Amino acid sequence: MKRMLALLFACAMGLAQAAELVDGRLVVDVRTHEEYASGHVKGALSAPVDKVGDIVEQVAPDRGTPITLYCRSGRRSEQALQALQSRGYHKLENLGGLEDAVKRYGPLVR
């Protein structure tokens, strides 16, 4: 029930793509919305680093959700990882930069 409510809330907030897990993980692009719009991994949630905690909590309230983070170079995704750890998330991965995301998940979509 909690998961369903979270997904309904995510849809209402325009975060419908967040319901899609990629390889069993929530993939989060922590770049700006403009960077995300220029190309992102298919199925990735847009959650800029300064809002990542609030957005991820809305979409994945379960602190055991496996989450992979990426940005342009890996620096912001490390900041996002630390922000999510401070909120109790523990299955986190800093994938690094956009090139690393493309290697794992395939070409970018717009």
How confident is the model over 36-84, as pLDDT tens digits? 999 999 999 999 999 999 999 999 999 999 999 999 999 999 999 999 9
User: pLDDT band for position 15 (50/70/90)?
Assistant: low
Residue 14 in this model has a pLDDT that exceeds 70: no
Number of H helices, E strands in the chain: 5, 6
- Which residues are known catalytic residues? 71
Contact 37, 110 (CB under 8 A): yes
pTM of the entire structure?
A: 0.83
Burial of 37 (0-12, 13-18, 19+ CB in 10 A): exposed
Q: What is the pLDDT of residues 19-42, one digit of tens each?
A: 478 889 999 999 999 999 999 999
